[in-house]
C-alpha cells in the first residue's frame, strides 16, 4: 500500500511540475509577445514624436539649402571655366592652364559632394519613417520640399 501511494505521489508531483513548467513557458511566450508589441509602440512613438519630426524636417531643409548652394557654386565654376575650355591649350599662358586645372578640380570635387548629398537626401526621402515630409508642408513652413534631386552631370 505504501508503494501504491509513493508511486502515485511521484506521478502526481511529476504532473504538477509539468503543469507549472508549461504554465511558465506560456507566460514567457506571452511576456515576450507583449514586449515586442510594446517595443513597436515605443519605436513608432520615438520616430513620429514632434521632436523627431522637427529634427527630420530641419535636416531636409538644411540639406535642401546646401544642395541649392552647391548647385549655384557649380554654375559659377562652370561659367568661370567655360572661356578657358573654349581656348586651345597652346594659346593659354601658364596662369590660364593652372587656373583651368584648379577650377576643374574644384568643379569635380563640388560635383561629387553635391551628388553624395543628393543620394543621401533621396535615400532619406524614400524611407518609411521620413515619408511625412514628401510633398507635404508642415505647419509654419513656407515651401514644400523637393521630392527628389537630380544628380549633377557635366554633360561630357
SS3 of 154, please? coil
pLDDT at 27: 86
For residue 80, give Cα distances in angstroms to 85, 88, 111, 113.
Answer: 9, 16, 15, 19
pTM of the model: 0.63
pLDDT tens, position by position, 101-148: 999 999 999 999 988 888 888 888 777 776 666 555 444 445 555 666
3-state secondary structure 40-88: HHHHHHHHHCHHHHHHHHHHHHHHHHHHHHHHHHHHHHHHHHHHHHHCC
pLDDT at residue 82 greater than cutoff 60 = yes
User: Is residue 154 predicted with pLDDT exceeding 70?
Assistant: no
Give per-residue pLDDT as tens, 10-23.
777 788 888 888 88
Is 58 found in the same domain as 23?
A: no
In this structure, the answer to whether residues 75 and 92 fall within a common structural domain is: yes
Distances (CA, A) of 7 to 15, 21, 102, 151, 153: 12, 21, 95, 81, 86
Query: pLDDT > 90: what percent of the chain?
Result: 20
Question: What are the backbone angles phi and psi of residue 144, rounded to the nearest 5°?
Answer: -70, 140
Establish how many alpha carbons lie within 13 A of residue 135's alpha carbon, considering only the half-sphere containing its beta carbon.
2
Residue 69, pLDDT above cutoff 50:
yes
| 131 shares a domain with 81 | yes
Angstrom distance (rounded) from CA 118 to CA 116? 5
Could you give the CA distance from residue 152 to residue 102 in angstroms, rounded to a whole number? Answer: 19
- Helix (H), strand (E) at residue 16: helix 2-48
Higher pLDDT, 66 or 3: 66
Co-location of 79 and 141 in the same domain: yes
- The range of the structural domain enclosing residue 24 comes to 1-48
What's the total number of domains in the chain? 2
Task: Tell me: do 44 and 58 sit in the same domain.
Answer: no
- pLDDT, one tens digit per residue, over 13-65 is 788 888 888 888 988 898 888 889 888 888 888 887 888 888 888 888 888 88
Q: Do 2 and 58 fall into the same domain?
A: no
Amino acid at each position: 500500500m505504501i508503494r501504491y501511494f509513493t508511486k502515485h505521489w511521484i506521478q502526481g508531483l511529476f504532473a504538477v511540475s509539468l503543469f507549472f513548467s508549461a504554465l511558465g513557458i506560456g507566460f514567457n511566450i506571452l511576456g515576450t509577445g507583449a514586449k515586442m508589441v510594446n517595443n513597436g509602440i515605443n519605436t513608432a512613438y520615438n520616430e513620429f514624436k514632434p521632436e523627431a519630426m522637427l529634427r527630420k524636417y530641419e535636416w531636409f531643409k538644411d540639406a535642401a539649402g546646401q544642395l541649392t548652394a552647391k548647385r549655384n557654386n557649380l554654375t559659377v565654376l562652370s561659367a568661370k571655366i567655360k572661356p578657358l575650355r573654349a581656348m586651345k591649350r597652346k594659346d593659354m599662358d601658364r596662369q590660364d592652364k593652372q587656373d583651368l586645372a584648379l577650377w576643374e578640380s574644384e568643379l569635380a570635387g563640388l560635383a561629387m559632394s553635391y551628388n553624395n548629398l543628393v543620394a543621401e537626401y533621396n535615400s532619406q526621402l524614400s524611407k518609411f519613417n521620413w515619408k511625412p515630409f514628401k510633398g507635404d508642408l508642415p505647419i509654419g513652413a513656407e515651401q514644400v520640399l523637393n521630392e527628389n534631386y537630380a544628380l549633377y552631370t557635366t554633360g561630357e
